[in-house]
Structure 1
Amino acid sequence: MANTQKRKNQARILRTFRKIHRTTGALLFIFFFFISVTGLLLGWKKNSGGLIYSKSYEGTSTDLRDWLPMDSLHTIACRVFRDSISTDYSLELDRIDIRKNKGMVKFVFVDHYWGIQLDGATGELLHIERRNADFIENVHDGSILDYYFGTTGGPIKLAYTGIMGLSLLTFTVTGFWLWFGPKQMRKAKKRSVGEGQERYGSF
C-alpha cells in the first residue's frame, strides 16, 4: 500500500514537471531561439571572415611616445565619421579601444554600431567597421531593447537576463526529472514486484 501511494506521488510530481517544462518551452520558445542563434554566432565571430567580427589593423608604431594625443585622434575619428559615414548620426562614443601591440586605436560609436580604426602615431584611417558583433551581443542579452527605448541603467536587460536565467534553470531541472523520474518509478516497480514474489514464495 505504501509503495502504491509512493508511486502515485511520483507520478503526480512527474505530471507537474512535465506541464511546467512544456509551458516554459512554449511561452519562451522565441527567446530561447534568439539566445541559441546569437550565442552560436558570437562563438564563431572570430572565424567569420570579418562578417561578424572585424579584423584589427596595424599601425606604424607600438611605442605610445610616438602616438598623437588622444584628443587629436578623437577629433580625426569624428571627422572621418562625418565625412564617410553620416552627418546625422550622433558622435557619442561607446568606448575607446587602445591596441598598443598593434599601434592602433579604435573609436566605437554608440549610434548604429560603427567603429573607426586609426593609426595611433599618424592618425591615418586604417579601417571603418560595422560592429555586427556588438549588435548580436546586445540581441543576445536583451540590451538591444534598452538601446532602442533609450533607458538608462539597463533595466530591460536586467529583467530579461533574470527571467531567461531562471527559465533556463527551470527548463534544466524539469527536463532532468522527466528523464530521471520514470527511471526511478520503473526501479521502484521492479522492487515492488520482487518483494511481492518473495512474499508469495514464502507461503
Structure 2
Amino acid sequence: MNKRKKILKQAKIIRLARKLHRISGISLFVFFFVIGITSILLGWKKDSGGYLLPATAQGSTPHLQNWLSLEELHLIAQNTIRDTLNTEIIPEVDRMEIRKDDGVVKFCFKDSYDGLQLDGATGKVLQYGPRRSDFIENVHDGSILDIIFKTDSGIFKLTYTSILGTALLLFTVTGFWLWYGPKRLKRSKS
C-alpha cells in the first residue's frame, strides 16, 4: 500500500505541475511572445547595420584635453535637437555617453528616442537619428507603461519584471518536473 500511495502522490504532483505550467503559459503567452521578439532584437542591435542602434561615429581626437567642456557640448546638443525638431521647447538630456576612444559624446533625450553624437573636440554633429533599440528595451522591460502613464516610481516595470521573472522560474521548475516526473513515476511502478 505504501508503494501505491507514493505512486499516487507522484502522479498528483505531475498533474499539478502540468496544470500550473498550462495556466501560466496561457495567461502570459502574449508577454512571453513580446519578450522573445524584443530579446532577439536587442541581441542584434549592434549588428543591425545602424537600424536599431546607430553606429558610433568617429570624432577628431580621443585626447580629452582637446575637448570642449561637457557644458558646452550639452548646450550644442540641446540647440541642435531643438533646431532639428523645429520647436521652441529646449529638450532635456536624459543621458550622455562619453566614448573617449572614439572622440565622441552621445546624447539621449527624455521624451524622445532620438540620439545625437557630437565630436568631443569640435562639437560638430556626427550623427543624428532614432535610437529604436531604446524603444525596444522599454517594451522588453515593461517601462513603456511607466512612460505612457507618466509614473516616476517605475511601478509598471517592477510589477511586469517581477511577474514575468517569477513565471519564468515557475516554467523552469514545472517544465523540469514534467520531464523528470514521468521517468520517476515509471521507475516507481517497476
Question: Which TM-score band applies after superposition, normalised by the shorter structure?
Answer: over 0.9
Q: List aligned pairs for 1:22-61, cutoff 5 A.
A: 22-61=22-61
Q: Does 1:108 align with 2:128?
A: no
SS of 2:10's partner is helix
Residue 90 of structure 1 and its aligned partner are, at CA, apart by 5.9
TM-score relative to the length of structure 2 = 0.95
Asked if 2 retains the 8 angstrom alpha-carbon contact of 1:89 and 1:111, the reply is no
Query: Which entry has the higher C-alpha Rg, 1 or 2?
Result: 1
Asked if 2 retains the 8 angstrom alpha-carbon contact of 1:38 and 1:140, the reply is yes
Task: Show structure 1 runs of 4+ deviating over 2 A.
Answer: none
Asked if 2 retains the 8 angstrom alpha-carbon contact of 1:119 and 1:126, the reply is yes
Q: List aligned pairs for 1:91-102, cutoff 5 A.
A: 91-102=91-102
- How many residues get paired? 190
Q: List aligned pairs for 1:76-155, cutoff 5 A.
A: 76-87=76-87, 91-155=91-155
Relative to structure 1, the CA distance from residue 108 to residue 71 in structure 2 (aligned partners, 3 Å threshold; closer, same or farther) is same
In structure 2, C-alpha distance between the alignment counterparts of 1:171 and 1:89, rounded to whole Å:
48
- Identify unmatched segments of 5+ residues in structure 1: 191-203
Asked if 1 retains the 8 angstrom alpha-carbon contact of 2:78 and 2:93, the reply is no
Look up the equivalent residue of 2:100 and give its one-letter code: K
Percent identical residues = 52
Look up the equivalent residue of 1:123 and give its one-letter code: G
Asked if 2 retains the 8 angstrom alpha-carbon contact of 1:108 and 1:114, the reply is yes
SS of 1:32's partner is helix
In structure 2, C-alpha distance between the alignment counterparts of 1:9 and 1:41, rounded to whole Å:
44
Superposition CA RMSD, Å: 1.3
Asked if 2 retains the 8 angstrom alpha-carbon contact of 1:90 and 1:110, the reply is no
Relative to structure 1, the CA distance from residue 158 to residue 88 in structure 2 (aligned partners, 3 Å threshold; closer, same or farther) is farther
- Identify unmatched segments of 5+ residues in structure 2: none
Aligned to 1:193: none
Aligned to 1:2: 2
Aligned to 1:69: 69
In structure 1, C-alpha distance between the alignment counterparts of 2:139 and 2:88, rounded to whole Å:
24
